[in-house]
Structures are given as C-alpha cells and as structure tokens.
C-alpha cells in the first residue's frame, strides 16, 4: 500500500507513442513474468492499451516509508487509486 509518484506512463502501442497521466490509470500489467505477451495499461474508464511501457521502473512511496524506485523486471501488476477495504471478509 502506498502511492505511485510517477506523473505519467508512456506506452508504445499500435496507435503510436502515448503518454497516459497516472491519475487516469487503474492498473498496469507488465509482461514480467513472461506470461503476458505485452505490457498493458487499464484506464479508469475501462479502456485498455497494449504495447511496451517505456519506463524502466515505478517510483513508489509506501505508507509511512521512504520513496523508492522499483525496477520494472521486479513488478507484475500495479494498482493505482485502489484502496484496502477493511470491512471485506477475510480469505480462508
């Protein structure tokens, strides 16, 4: 849990190079591990873009922690703007 500090993400897609402002993004899936054929950016409105994300990592600040840069090869999925529901039932 924490905040993604990058202002935007760039993706090279079939539509060309596109910059997506982070506040419009719901999910980012990196093709690491290689089960994903492409990187994907899922927008808050439900649209998805596939291609190659140009950033080499994500700048992140965990709650109560210091900002850090996480290399993309160590990331599978980033959820942006999602919160933890403390009222959700526990997994068993």
pLDDT of 8-35, one tens digit each? 999 999 889 999 999 999 999 998 766 7
pLDDT of 75-85, one tens digit each? 989 999 776 66
The average pLDDT across 57-74 equals 93
pTM of the model: 0.81
pLDDT score for 91: 63
Confidence class for position 86, pLDDT limits 50, 70, 90: low
Looking at residue 32, what DSSP letter applies? Answer: -
Which residues does 67 contact at the CB level (< 8 Å), separation at least 6? 5, 59, 60, 61
């Amino acid at each position: 849990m924490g905040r993604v500090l990058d202002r935007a993400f760039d993706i090279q897609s079939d539509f060309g190079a596109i910059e997506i402002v982070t506040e419009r993004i719901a999910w980012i899936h990196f093709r690491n591990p290689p089960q994903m054929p492409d990187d994907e950016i899922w927008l808050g409105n439900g649209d998805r873009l596939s291609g190659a994300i140009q950033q080499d990592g994500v700048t992140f600040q965990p709650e109560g922690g210091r900002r850090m840069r996480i290399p993309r090869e160590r990331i599978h999925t980033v959820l942006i703007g999602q919160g933890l529901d403390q009222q959700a039932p526990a997994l068993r």
